[in-house]
């Protein structure tokens, strides 16, 4: 028996996951997928579960779909547990973005003020889940897709002894997919190595038949297909990319194009109150109307607009590789263990790793260019302090975390933003001192 438990099963991403397991049924014959959610997400959970059953029926497979609000029952005896939930749902994300923008600060959901408060809401729940996994499914692997994935992985590494936890992001998969189209090669027919942090990951090598071609790719990097929806496609200066000699991901715009990104987001916000979150909510509303249609039995194309393109390939490939001990290379968030010189062994990084039955083994890369190590260390400081704030329930540490983040606008503005976000999310941040 192979049991999957997906916490946040009512997410619009879930059909991606179901599709991935259907595609891999021959090598990963899952018997049961238990979709778990909270009471506030019950309606979406039921809609997604019914849609998943239609997908399974069309595929003609013997996979049982169970939906429940009982998280412990979902976790019990599971082989793999995936986490993809959002505490407070999209309404919380809208606040995470609108409040910082109202103070002239980027409201990015992963690393800025929004990422900080998403982490404060999410990390305590993740740590509770791990306690339940250790009790109810001690041999299970936990694969986390919830953002901020790097901060969450850091918290688990730093504040628990649980070592079967892997953070996952679709961005490296999508960047490689874009490069594959650029060089006219199938995804598996060339090697691409990534290193850095979640949403701050760099492509450090591209090899075709053993030959390094990263300089050729960088020369045409402005043609790499955008794989993260709802991020403004402001092009990077070619001379900058060539000087860096690394391939950038879409989220680097928040750091290397901060002023342009902020100006555009403020203009959009002033014009109609929109942020990235409100656009995502509109897409999700449309998706759930589609999911309700009884004639729909395959993943709709519109799901790519949600920002989760290639999620199923990333998540299901990882799970399949652990189960089958494939020892292929995938990009995951895991402990550094000597792979990158600018991070301690026990710090979490996003890096190309060999995937084994015993988990990921990061590729030894060594030094990264000095041009990026400063920014990486600054974001790592932010992740560590944020994780500590979430575990110790400290408002002062949360404030400090935002002050050291490169997307902040100084200590005074950070204080205003932190105070307003604590008030806005008080329902989910009880016990902070």
418 within 8 A of 113, measured Cβ to Cβ: yes
The neighbouring-strand residues paired with 202 are 195
CA pair distance 104, 98, nearest whole angstrom: 10
Q: How far apart (Å, rounded) are the C-alpha atoms in residues 221 and 235?
A: 9
* Residues 42-49: contacts with CB under 8 Å, at least 24 apart: 42/10, 42/69, 43/10, 44/10, 44/11, 44/12, 44/288, 45/9, 45/10, 45/69, 46/10, 47/10, 47/288, 47/291, 47/292, 48/9, 48/10, 48/11, 48/12, 48/14, 48/15, 48/291, 49/9
**Gyration radius (Cα) of the chain, Å:** 21
Cβ atoms of residues 352 and 200 within 8 Å:
no
Under DSSP, the state recorded for 366 is B
Which secondary-structure segment (H or E) carries 131? Answer: helix 113-136
The secondary structure element, H or E, covering residue 7 is strand 3-7
Contacts of 64 (CB under 8 A, 6+ apart): 31, 32, 33
φ, ψ dihedrals at 247, nearest 5°: -95, 125
**Cα(39)–Cα(412) distance, integer angstroms:** 38
Separation CA 300–CA 291 (nearest Å): 9
Which residue's structure tokens are 């060089």? Answer: 183
202 among known catalytic residues? no
Nearest to 407 by CA among 113, 94, 182, 187: 113
Find out whether 15 and 44 touch, Cβ atoms under 8 Å. no
Structure tokens at 389: 């704030």
Q: What letters, b where the CB count within 10 A reaches 16 and e where it falls short, cover 299-332?
A: beeebebbbbbbbbbbbbbbbbbbbeebeebbbb
Q: Which one is catalytic: 13, 251, 255, 323? A: 251
- Point out the residues that are catalytic: 251
């Amino acid at each position: 028996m192979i049991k999957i438990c997906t916490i946040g099963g009512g997410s619009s991403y879930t059909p991606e996951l179901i599709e991935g397991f259907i595609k891999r049924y021959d090598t990963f014959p899952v018997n049961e997928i238990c979709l778990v959610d909270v009471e506030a997400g019950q309606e979406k959970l039921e809609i997604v579960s019914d849609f998943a059953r239609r997908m399974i029926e069309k595929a003609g497979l013997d996979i049982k779909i169970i939906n429940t609000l009982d998280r412990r029952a979902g976790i019990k005896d599971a082989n793999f547990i995936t986490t993809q939930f959002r505490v407070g749902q999209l309404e919380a994300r809208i606040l995470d973005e609108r409040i910082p923008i109202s103070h002239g600060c980027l409201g990015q959901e992963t690393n800025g003020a929004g990422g900080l408060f998403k982490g404060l809401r999410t990390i305590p729940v993740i740590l509770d889940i791990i306690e339940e996994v250790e009790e109810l499914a001690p041999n299970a692997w936990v694969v986390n897709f919830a953002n901020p994935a790097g901060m969450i992985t850091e918290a688990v590494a730093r504040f628990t002894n649980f070592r079967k936890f892997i953070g996952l992001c679709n961005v490296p998969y999508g960047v490689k997919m874009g490069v594959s189209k650029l060089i006219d090669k199938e995804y598996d027919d060339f090697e691409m190595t990534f290193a850095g942090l979640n949403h701050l990951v760099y492509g450090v090598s591209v090899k075709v038949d053993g030959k390094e071609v990263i300089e050729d790719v960088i020369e045409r990097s402005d043609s790499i297909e955008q794989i993260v929806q709802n991020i403004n496609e402001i092009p990077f200066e070619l001379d900058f990319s060539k000087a860096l000699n690394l391939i950038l991901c879409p989220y680097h715009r928040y750091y290397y194009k901060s002023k342009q990104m902020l100006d555009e987001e403020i203009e959009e916000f002033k014009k109609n109150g929109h942020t990235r979150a409100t656009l995502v909510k509109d897409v999700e509303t449309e998706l759930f109307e589609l999911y309700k249609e009884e004639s729909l039995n395959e993943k709709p194309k519109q799901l790519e607009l949600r920002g989760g393109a290639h999620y199923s390939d990333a998540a299901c490939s990882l799970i399949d590789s652990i189960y089958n001990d494939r020892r292929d290379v995938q990009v995951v968030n895991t402990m550094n263990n000597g792979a990158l010189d600018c991070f301690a062994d026990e710090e979490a990084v996003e890096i190309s790793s060999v995937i084994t039955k015993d988990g990921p083994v990061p590729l030894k890369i060594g030094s990264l260019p000095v041009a990026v190590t400063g920014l990486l260390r600054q974001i790592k400081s932010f992740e560590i302090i944020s994780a500590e704030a979430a575990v110790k329930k400290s408002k002062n540490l949360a404030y400090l975390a935002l002050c050291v983040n490169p997307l902040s606008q100084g200590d005074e503005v950070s204080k205003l933003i932190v105070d307003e976000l604590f008030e806005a999310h008080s329902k989910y941040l009880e016990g902070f001192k």
